[in-house]
Amino acid sequence: MEKLQKNAPSGVECSFIPTENDLELINRYTVKALEADEVFCFNLTLCDNEIDRDFERFSVEALTALAPMFEGRTGIADHSMKTENQHSRIFRTWIEESEIRKTSTGENYTTLKARAYIPITPKSEELIEQIKSGIKKETSISCTVSSQLCSVCKAEIRKGGCKHRKGEIYDGRMCHTVLSKPTDAYEFSFVAVPAQPEAGVTKSFTVPEGMALDKIEKAAAGCEAVTLSIEAFSQLTAKIHSLQELSKDAEKYRKALEARVSRLGAMAVPELSSDELEHICAKLPTDSLTALEKAFSANAAKRFPLNPQLGTFTHENKTDNKEFKI
């Protein structure tokens, strides 16, 4: 199962004065009963069933199942799980289905809506003003689903075996992933710069300082994107740059090795053409090329032994000086 973060299609929609029913729902989560003038309430869209920029969508069944899971969940900032980042709480959720608007798959456009409240305090006044002015508007949710199906063959993508590619057209329909069978909901966040309204699936996990690449790969196995801390991202970026430089050197070495093996192969096995040798060298791993270079070098030395140009030097005493006679 994966923990997903999906940017909402529209985020915050409006603010309103809480009704008696709203206050009753809000006070289920409070220690002290709050009055209407002590809370700021707003509506927001959590997610929908349209294909997003990552070619994924929630099924209507998933949206319906997520609705009760999000009741009581908190609002935070940028999916940062620190306690001090909590600012609001969802107290009601519901499903809205349009009879007019259709999704790209032909379904009725369906959204998961929510109402949330923020206690009015000196600390929360700035956030409330940012919501009212439209500065804080875009939101993103975090939840877990146990199923990700290919829209073409209905195969479970994480189990492998599906050869279809998201975003490509098959029989006139765009291939995408259907997110279904949610198992939990965690929070919603105000996000500073969402990529686009219907974007983003990531797996969240904490990356300890100095975490090796193989451990990051293992932790992210089976998911499409990974959320890293700033420190971990900096470490990963530095490592990637270092590997890129090593890769350039390795590529130069590889090309030089292929050229040497091809040249020696032409001497050791003249029956093979230069094109055949180059093709063989391009397919072999570096270790095999190194072994072949040694073998070709030994064989070429036997076929073409080196003869010293000046011959063998001897210390014979010559007295006839024939070399100097005319």
The alpha carbon of residue 224 and the mean position of all alpha carbons in its chain are separated, in whole angstroms, by: 4
Instruction: Copy the structure tokens of residue 251.
Output: 């590529």
For the chain, which residues make up each domain, given as ranges?
2-228, 235-303
Asked if 185 contacts 73 with a C-beta cutoff of 8 angstroms, the reply is: yes
CA distance 99 to 31: 41
Question: Against a cut of 0.75, is the pTM above it?
Answer: no
pLDDT tens readout for residues 53-104: 778 899 999 999 999 999 999 988 777 767 777 889 999 999 999 889 999 9
DSSP labels, 276-305: HHHHHHHHS-HHHHHHHHHHHHHHHHHHS-
Confidence (pLDDT) at 204:
36
CB atoms within 10 A of CB 272: 14
Which pLDDT score is estimated for 102? Answer: 92
CA distances from residue 3 to 147, 184, 199, 254, 263 in whole angstroms, order as listed: 12, 9, 15, 41, 54
3-state secondary structure of 66: helix
* pLDDT number for residue 208: 47
- Per-residue pLDDT in tens (0 to 9) along the chain, 326 residues: 656 666 666 566 666 688 899 999 999 999 999 999 999 998 888 889 998 877 889 999 999 999 999 999 998 877 776 777 788 999 999 999 988 999 999 999 999 998 999 999 999 999 888 888 888 888 888 888 999 999 999 999 888 778 899 889 998 899 999 999 999 998 888 876 543 343 322 333 444 445 556 656 655 554 444 555 555 566 677 778 788 888 888 888 888 888 888 888 788 788 878 788 788 888 888 888 888 888 888 877 777 776 665 555 555 555 566 555 55
Residue among 229, 298, 204 nearest 1 (CA)? 204
Angle between helices 230-268 and 286-303 (to 10 degrees): 20
Place of tokens 């932790």: 219
Give Cβ neighbours of residue 307 (< 8 Å, ≥ 6 apart): none
Q: HSE of 196 in the Cβ direction (CA atoms, 13 Å)?
A: 7
Fill in the DSSP letter of residue 34. Answer: P
Burial of residue 159 (number of CB atoms within 10 Å: 0-12, 13-18, 19+): exposed
